[in-house]
Structure 1
Amino acid sequence: MKFLELMFEAALWRSRYMVVLAVVASMAAAVAVMYMATVDVVYLVGHVMHYADPGLSAEARKLIHDETITHVVEVVDGYLLATFMLIFSLGLYELFVSDIDEAHGSRASSKILVINNLDDLKQRLAKVILMILIVTLFAKALQIQMNSPLDLLYLGAGIALIGVALYFTHAAESRGKGSDEADEKAGSGH
């Protein structure tokens, strides 16, 4: 009976390697979105070359300007989404499979891979999602036609909500760092 229990627990523990599928798929998605955003930048630069054309009317120049700003925001959104997928795949790998040995010798890993549990991963991803939402709202705000004072009020409310979300995100991060430092002091006997 003990042998069966050991075999079952070994199989159960090794089942965590299924996460490698999600890691590979997330990394592929990150590469795909990064590629698409980069192609968008190439086309954007080609499109903007016409901006300096002296024969261009003021309306056409304004249209190119507005479209360019919108496309830049969309590109930033794409790069943020690619970053989200990259952090997600690295975090899953570190949590479920193994530490990334190559990363632990790098200074950049302390900025990216401070993921010790699922809560750390969720916090990192939530920050990236919040940034994506902010960029998306900015892109939509550029396209809004202000036809009434109510439209301006809605835009102001959206910006205020973003400020509140950023405030609470920062406050939660500061509180988390404070409790981590208190835990370290309590653990070291101070």
Structure 2
Amino acid sequence: MLERLFESTLWNSRFIVILAVVFGLIGAVILFAVASIDIIVTAKYVVATYLSGTHPENFHQDVIGGIIGAVDLYLIGVVMLLFAFGLYELFISEIDVAKESEHDETQLLAIHSLDQLKDKISKVIVMVLVVGFFQKVGYTQYSGALDMLYLALSITAVSVGLYFLGKVGK
């Protein structure tokens, strides 16, 4: 009887994962909201700049930086969603509504093992890093040929990395 009680308690302790699921979803909603506000702020900046007839020196870089920054936040929000969905499906229960759906998108969120969850999250994290890299590149000042060579090499390295990331699991 003691063994049965202990095993039951141990099995039900998996429900503590609900905290990570709920707060993961809250984090995703916050990230989506902040990214959306950033897009709105950038749009207001563009409209105000064009209505005033003046163009600041770094206008295009500021606009691109604002939008890429928002994309970065959206991608991190997607990581949080994948994390929440994956933990829920792995530790709590399959999502019945997703199984009943006729859309193929449900396969995107279907997580059947920790390795699948890790692979999906790591791919999105790599994309976050790539977006962050290109955001930083937009603000970098290039003073000579060597700087341009470093830029070309870094873009090549990112491209090769993305190519091999696409080959994983195939």
Q: Same fold (TM over 0.5)?
A: yes
TM-score (norm 2): 0.92
Aligned-partner Cα distance in 2 for 1:93–1:39: 29
Letter of the 2:15 counterpart: Y
Q: Does 1:128 align with 2:143?
A: no
Say if 1:94 and 1:100, in contact at 8 Å, map to a contact too: yes
Task: Find the counterpart in structure 2 of residue 17 from structure 1.
Answer: 15
Q: How big is each residue's C-alpha offset from its partner over 1:68-99, in whole Å with a ceiling of 9 and x where there is no partner? A: 01111001001111111011101100000011
Q: Name the SS of the counterpart of 1:173 in structure 2.
A: coil
Match of 2:67 among 45, 58, 72: 72
One-letter identity of the residue aligned with 1:94 = E
Task: Say whether the 8 Å CA contact 1:74–1:136 is kept in structure 2.
Answer: yes
Q: Could you tell me how far apart the structure 2 residues matched to 1:70 and 1:55 are?
A: 21
Change (3 A) 1:55 1:116: closer
2:43 corresponds, among 24, 33, 45, to 45
| Alpha-carbon distance in 2 for matches of 1:82, 1:96 | 21
TM-score by length of 1: 0.83
Listed as ranges, the gaps of 5+ residues in structure 2 are none
Is residue 96 of structure 2 the alignment partner of residue 101 of structure 1?
yes
Structure of greater relative contact order (alpha carbons < 8 Å, 6+ residues apart)? 2
CA RMSD of aligned residues (A): 1.5
Matches within 5 A, 1:131-170: 131-170=127-166
2:142 match: secondary structure: coil
Q: Cα deviation per residue 1:81-137 (whole Å; 9 max; x = unaligned)?
A: 111101110110000001111111221543322211000000100110011001000
Mapped partners of 1:23, 1:8: distance in 2: 25
| AA in 1 matched with 2:68 | V
Q: Distance in 2 between matches of 1:163 and 1:66?
A: 22
CA distance in 1, matches of 2:92, 2:105: 17
Larger Rg belongs to: 1
Matched-pair contact (CA < 8 Å) for 1:103–1:109: no
Deviation by residue 1:22-44 (Cα, 9 ceiling, x = unmatched) = 11111111111111111111111
- Identical pairs, percent: 38
